Amino acid sequence: MQRLRIPIIFLFLSLCFQVSALAKTIIVGGDRDYPPYEFLDSSGKPTGYNVELTKAIAEVMGLQVEFRLGGWSEQLRDLKEGRIDLLQGISWSEQRATQIDFTPPHTVVNHAIFARKESPVVSSLTELKGKKVTLHRDGIMHEQLLRQGYGPDLVPTPTPADALRLLASGQCDYAVVAIVPGMYIIREYKLTNLVPVARSIASQKYGYGVRKDNAELLAKMTEGLAILKKTGQYDAIHAKWLGVLEPEGLALGKVIKLAALVLTPLVLVLGGMAFWSRSLHKQVALRTADLTHEIAERTAAEQELRRNQQQLVQADKMAALGVLVSGVAHEINNPNGLILLNMPILKDVCNDALAALEQQQNQIELGGLSFNRVKDELPLMLDEMQDGARRIKRIVEDLKDFARQDDAALMEPLELNQVTQAAVRLVDRSLRTATNRFEAEYTEPLPMIQGNSQRIEQVLVNLLLNACQALTDQNRGVFLRTFIDHATNSVGVLVRDEGCGIAPEHLDRLTDPFFTTKRESGGTGLGLSVSTGIVKEHGGSLLFSSPPGQGTTVTLLLPITQ
CATH code at position 146? 3.40.190.10
Q: Is residue 364 part of a domain?
A: no
Exposed e or buried b for every residue in 90-110, given b needs 16+ CB within 10 A? bbbbeebeeebbbbebbbbbb
Domain boundary among the residues 216, 242, 268 is at 242
| Whether 224 contacts 61, CB under 8 Å | yes
Co-location of 298 and 279 in the same domain: yes
414 and 520 together in one domain: yes
CB 484 within 8 A of CB 528: no
Of 291, 309, 327, the position where a domain reaches its end is 309
Question: pLDDT tens-digit profile of 2-59?
Answer: 454 544 544 444 444 444 434 589 999 999 999 999 999 989 999 999 999 999 999 9
In degrees, rounded to 5, the angle at the alpha carbon of residue 268 between the alpha carbons of residues 262 and 271 is 135
**DSSP letter assigned to residue 445:** S
Which pTM value belongs to this model?
0.43
Q: 525 and 419 share a domain?
A: yes
- Is residue 327 assigned to a domain? no
pLDDT tens digits for range 313-347: 666 666 666 666 666 766 777 787 778 777 888 87
Asked if residue 345 is part of any domain, the answer here is no
In this structure, the answer to whether residues 175 and 298 fall within a common structural domain is no
pLDDT at 468: 93
CATH number of the domain encompassing residue 436: 3.30.565.10
The structural domain count of the chain equals 3
**Max intra-chain CA distance, the chain:** 146
Given this model, what pLDDT does residue 522 score? 47
For residue 518, report the phi and psi dihedrals to the nearest 5 degrees. -120, 35
314: in domain? no
Are residues 131 and 190 located together in one domain of the fold? yes
Q: Residue 307's pLDDT is what?
A: 76
* Residue spans of the chain under pLDDT 50: 1-2, 4, 6-7, 9-22, 245-252, 255, 408, 522
Cα distance between residue 482 and residue 447, in whole Å: 11
Phi/psi of residue 437, each to 5°? -130, 80
Inside any domain, residue 145: yes
Asked whether 461 and 528 are in contact (CB, 8 A), the reply is: no
Q: Is-contact 20 201, C-beta < 8 A?
A: no
Same structural domain, 231 and 115: yes
Instruction: Identify the pLDDT of residue 16.
Output: 46
What stretch of H or E contains 481? strand 478-485
Within 188-311, strands assigned E span: 194-211
CA distances (Å), origin 560, targets 413, 451, 557:
10, 10, 10
Q: Is the dihedral of CA 166, 168, 171, 174 positive or negative?
A: positive
Residues 303 and 418 in one domain: no
Domain that holds residue 302: 252-309
Provide the pLDDT for residue 481.
95
Domain boundary, last residue among 242, 263, 280: 242
Asked whether residue 297 falls in the same domain as residue 201, the answer is: no
* Any domain includes 403: no
DSSP sequence for 329-392: HHHHHHHHHHHHHHHHHHHHHHHHHHHHHGGGGGG-EETTEEHHHHHHHHHHHHHHHHHHHHHH
87, 222: one domain = yes
Residues 180 and 302 in one domain: no
Q: For residues 555 and 485, is the Cβ–Cβ distance under 8 A?
A: no
From the CA atom positions of the chain, what is the Rg in Å?
39
pLDDT of residue 21: 39
pLDDT at position 195 is: 95
Q: Is residue 232 part of a domain?
A: yes
Same domain, 92 and 33: yes
Question: Residue 18 domain-assigned?
Answer: yes
70 and 214 inside one domain = yes
Helix axes 371-403, 416-426, angle to 10 degrees: 110
**Rounded to an integer, what distance in angstroms lies between the CA atom of residue 140 and that of residue 540?**
57
